[in-house]
Chains A and B, each alone.
Chain A
Amino acid sequence: MSSAPAPVELDRPDIAEDVASDRPWLAIVWNDPINLMSYVTYVFQAVFGYPKVKAEKLMMDVHHKGRAVVASGTREEMERDVEILHSYGLWATVRRDD
């Protein structure tokens, strides 16, 4: 999985884009000073079943780049993933891929 695209600001999708439902949605985890690096790695493994190497890479992306895309799929799937990440206390958001 590649890192999140550089722009932080989102372009609000217009109606024409809105019906293009094949565009994937993203679950993004943001860096925060409280969650432990070990715990974040553990959560990525527990929630997504990622191998430890991939979970650690994502955790380091969050730590150094401020955020990382941790999953992609339909909007419903990403909202479900973000809800689970919130249950673990991670700071996670949903957005459409651009």
Chain B
Amino acid sequence: MKVRKGRGGTVRIRFEPEEAALVRTLMEQMLDLLGDPPGADDELAAVGITDRATTPDDPVLARLFPDAYRDDGEAAGEFRRYTEMGLRDGKREAAGIVLATLADAFGAPGTSGDDASGPLAGIEGGSPAEVELTTEHAQAWLRALNDVRLALGTRLDISEEWYEEAERLDPSDPRMPMYAAYDWLTMLQESLVQAVWQG
């Protein structure tokens, strides 16, 4: 993975195919977690309101959609009723932009079998590729990467000293791949922030 400035304020990120596949998988998992948008026949939802006003039980969803009032459950519930749907839409949209960017650069998932270079072509095999992000898309990437880091970090119960903790883990620990993904996403996000700042 390499991040650099492109022309006209764009940001370019070069991904290895397996890195792009990792980002794609994580974004798809985020979309699964966020769930489907409400149906068109939901009248409250049509104006951005839900009847769900309680803090989500899943700690990841509770972190993605935190209570806006610490000591006033009623106010926190009202805030949630009027904002959570819009926030979910925004997070779905950001993850969707990341997936669309990757599909443009690496081809859509599931289409690699048609490729002349064989069944391993496309995102899982094949060559590195570079995505080019407008400022607007770079911001969507930043938000979507941050959402995924929040999800992984919450699942791992990350602390300020997580790096030292991860170094002491047994290599066969089942959490190791999640730590590795978190570490890599952190580097990517840091590089992307710096690149957007220079723009």
- Complex: how many Å from CA A88 to CA B91? 9
Q: Which residues of the partner chain B approach A35 to less than 8 Å between Cβ atoms?
A: 146, 150
Q: Which residue in A36, A39, A87, A95 is a CB contact (below 8 Å) of B69?
A: A95
Q: Which label, helix, strand, loop or mixed, suits the secondary structure of the B interface?
A: helix
Asked if A83 contacts B186 (CB within 8 A), the reply is: no
Q: Which residues of the partner chain A approach B71 to less than 8 Å between Cβ atoms?
A: 9-10, 12, 95
- Complex: how many Å from CA A91 to CA B142? 16
Q: Which residues of the partner chain B approach A12 to less than 8 Å between Cβ atoms?
A: 71-72
Q: Interface size for chain A: under 10, 10 to 19, 20 to 34, or 35 or more residues? A: 20 to 34
- Complex: how many Å from CA A79 to CA B86? 14
Asked if B67 contacts A93 (CB within 8 A), the reply is: yes
Given the known interface contacts A82-B68, A86-B65, the answer about A34 and B197 at a Cβ–Cβ threshold of 8 Å is no
Stretch in contact with the other chain, from B95-103, B118-126, B188-196: B188-196
Asked if B153 contacts A33 (CB within 8 A), the reply is: yes
Q: Which residue in A83, A89, A91 is a CB contact (below 8 Å) of B83?
A: A83
Asked if A36 contacts B159 (CB within 8 A), the reply is: no
A56 to chain B, nearest CB (A): 12
Q: Interface size for chain B: under 10, 10 to 19, 20 to 34, or 35 or more residues? A: 35 or more
- Complex: how many Å from CA A24 to CA B90? 28
Q: Which label, helix, strand, loop or mixed, suits the secondary structure of the A interface?
A: mixed
Interface flag for A92 (CB, 8 Å):
yes
- Complex: how many Å from CA A57 to CA B143? 22
Q: Which residue in A38, A79, A95 is a CB contact (below 8 Å) of B190?
A: A38
* Residue on B nearest A83 in the bound complex, by CB: B83
Q: Which residues of the partner chain A approach B196 to less than 8 Å between Cβ atoms?
A: 42
Q: Within B23-70, which residues are at the interface with A (CB < 8 Å)?
A: 63-70
Asked if B69 contacts A93 (CB within 8 A), the reply is: yes
Interface flag for B134 (CB, 8 Å):
no
Interface flag for A58 (CB, 8 Å):
no
Interface flag for A94 (CB, 8 Å):
yes
For B75, B143, B146, B147, the residue with the greatest tally of chain A CB atoms inside 10 Å of its CB is B146
Given the known interface contacts A86-B68, A88-B143, the answer about A36 and B158 at a Cβ–Cβ threshold of 8 Å is no
Q: Which residues of the partner chain B approach A93 to less than 8 Å between Cβ atoms?
A: 66-70
Asked if B69 contacts A88 (CB within 8 A), the reply is: no
- Nearest 8 Cβ contacts at the A-B interface: A34-B153, A89-B146, A10-B71, A38-B193, A33-B160, A83-B83, A87-B90, A82-B68
Chain A interface residues (CB < 8 Å from chain B): 9-10, 12, 33-36, 38-39, 42, 46, 79, 82-83, 86-89, 91-95
